[in-house]
Amino acid sequence: MLFEDTASYEGVDPDDYKVMRYGVHGTPTTFAFEQAVAELEGGYAAVALPSGLAAITAAMCTYAKHGTHLLVTDSAYGPARRFCDKRLIANGVEVEYYDPLLGSDIERLLRPNTCAVYCEAPGSMTFEMQDIPAIAEVAHAHGLPVLADNTWGTPYFFRAFERGVDVSIHAGTKYIAGHSDTMIGAIVTNERHWLPVRRTVADFGMCVSPDDCWLALRGLRTIGVRMQHQMQSAAVVARFLAAHPRVSRVLYPALETDPGHALWKRDFDGAASLFGVVLKPATEASVIALIDSLALFGIGSSWGGYESLAIRGKMITRSASRWQPEGPLIRIHVGLEHPDDLIADLEQGLARLIAS
Ligand SMILES: Cc1ncc(COP(=O)(O)O)c(C=O)c1O
């Protein structure tokens, strides 16, 4: 980026992150992506980051400093938890995990040095819903910001700012980009939290290439049709699974039988096509055989794309709540394939399960 003259070079406001001045702060393509995400979600402004995890860590580091206390939901995305345990605690932050089912009762966990409350609804792998408006009411009464990983809800299905979130975090790698072909993250904030968050991202020197922003912007243009379609297919597949004799329960707030259904119905405009399935007790080898036999479900982590996925839900850490499933957990992502084909594939896979 070159400037017309010295006056325009030296006259740039360092807190103006919407003008071209230096590549790390963005290009017109970055700004177009950021503006589109912020508008869709109803936030004040957004900043693009190189991954969803980068968005999580930058958001946390805005508030969590040496000597502060950060409340983090026990159901947080595994690598977010690892960042807290390995980095924040080593840097003198008191990280406290809380039961995701706590609503306004979170008040009793607040300390004079609490800096923020971090949420994720539904939880990674286990899909517990959180009462974010109740948590936000308490947090705001104490002057604290609410940070939320809104990757599952997306800016399209969860209007985070209307529910009390101050800083909404997205792995744009998932439904926003939507085609499993780019890594990108985004943080959307309300006006009050914009500059603190944006300055943190600048301090870390995190930025995204215009090509990745362009892919994510193109993905964003079809997020509505993709998510509506995938939600409908996911409901069909989830209902099939819930009724299957080898399945104990399906962890999906969009199902009426889910304990989080009422909260989901109240707060969300739709559901992502990602859910958990707790099987009846089965041998480990037969669960692996089930997954490996699937022809239409890829085996991989990064959900939110066009293709269906299935993985085992392992290594779930809990310190403030209980997670004791009665059988093995698998996580399903429903893509754009026809649900009848997905069901036929799952049917043959489930037949491989051997009771234990
Ligand atoms: C809920 C959630 N948040 C954040 C992330 C991190 O996103 P990324 O893979 O872009 O770092 C993931 C990735 O799986 C996720 O599932």
Tell me: do 197 and 339 sit in the same domain: no
Residue 56 covered by a domain: yes
**Do the Cβ atoms of 270 and 228 come closer than 8 Å?**
yes
**Domain presence at residue 1:** no
For the entire predicted model, the pTM comes to: 0.97
Residue range of the domain that includes 335: 223-350
Q: For the ranges 15-19, 149-153, 180-184, which has the lowest average pLDDT?
A: 15-19
Instruction: Report percent pLDDT > 70 for the chain.
Output: 100
The best mutation among 53, 75, 149, 215 to test binding of ligand 1, ranked by most ligand atoms within 8 Å of the C-beta, falls on: 53
What CATH number is associated with residue 45? 3.40.640.10
Q: How many domains does the chain have?
A: 2
In a shared domain, residues 234 and 210: no
Q: Which of 178, 200, 220 is the last residue of a domain?
A: 220
Residue 4 lies in a domain: no
Clarify whether residues 23 and 79 are in a common domain: yes
- Residue with the smallest CA separation from ligand 1 atom 8 is 52
CA of 81 to the centre of ligand 1 (A): 12
Ligand 1, CB cutoff 6 Å, lining residues = 51-53, 77, 124, 149, 151, 171, 173, 183, 185, 301-302
| 76-127 pLDDT per residue, tens | 999 999 999 999 999 999 999 999 999 999 999 999 999 999 999 999 999 9
Q: How far is the CA of 52 from the centre of ligand 1 (A)?
A: 5
Query: pLDDT at residue 315 above 90?
Result: no
356 inside domain: no
pLDDT of residue 336 exceeding 90, the answer is yes
Tell which of 200, 220, 240 closes a domain.
220
